[in-house]
Amino acid sequence: MDLTALDKEVLNRIQKSFPLTATPYADLASAMGVSEQEVMDSISKMKNAGIIRRIGGIFDTPKMGFQSTLCAMQVPEDRLEIVADLVNQQKGVTHNYLRENPVFNLWFTLTAPSKSKLQEILDRLGKESGLKVHSMPAKKVYKIKAIFEMGES
């Protein structure tokens, strides 16, 4: 998909300064000198093309008392879709990826309100899939601010 100047500007603005107001898209449009409908159409087009997956907040879950872990599974090729769907049904899964790895091909992150709830979900996934879920909680968290500058808009 070829991005227009408007699309690039929308992407730059939603990454850097998304308005935390009752009317964020109208406020974006006003700051850009275009209509709210133009902003909404641009976002909709980029969502449909898979360029934008989601727009939303990112919370510091450890500060909120939550526990999280990176998980890996070795899933037989013929069961990947079924197991991926099972993983995706869990409320605390934020990412789920198929990886080209000689041992572990399904990787996901899981967050829960407590260590016991996290373990309960991991145990249930293992039982329902019949596979081992390897949990690798972070020892130290490094946060980065990744902005993908779209160039001149």
Burial tier of 89 (Cβ tally within 10 Å: 0-12, 13-18, 19+): exposed
**Against a cut of 0.75, is the pTM above it?**
no
Mean pLDDT of the chain: 92
CATH code, residues 5-48: 1.10.10
Q: What is the pLDDT of residue 152?
A: 63
**What is the band of 153 on the pLDDT scale with cuts at 50, 70, 90?**
very low
Percentage of the chain beyond pLDDT 70 is: 99
**Could you give the CA distance from residue 73 to residue 75 in angstroms, rounded to a whole number?**
6
Percentage of the chain beyond pLDDT 90 is: 75
Going from N- to C-terminal start, the domains of the chain cover 5-48, 61-136
**What is the band of 114 on the pLDDT scale with cuts at 50, 70, 90?**
very high
pLDDT digits (tens, 9 = 90+) for 44-102: 999 999 999 889 887 788 889 999 999 999 999 999 999 999 999 998 998 899 999 88
47 with 39: CB under 8 angstroms? no
**Could you give the CA distance from residue 19 to residue 36 in angstroms, rounded to a whole number?**
13
- Which CATH code, of 1.10.1200.120, 3.30.70.3460, 3.30.750.24, 3.40.50.620, is assigned to 61-136? 3.30.70.3460
**Could you give the CA distance from residue 107 to residue 68 in angstroms, rounded to a whole number?**
14
pLDDT score of 144 more than 60? yes
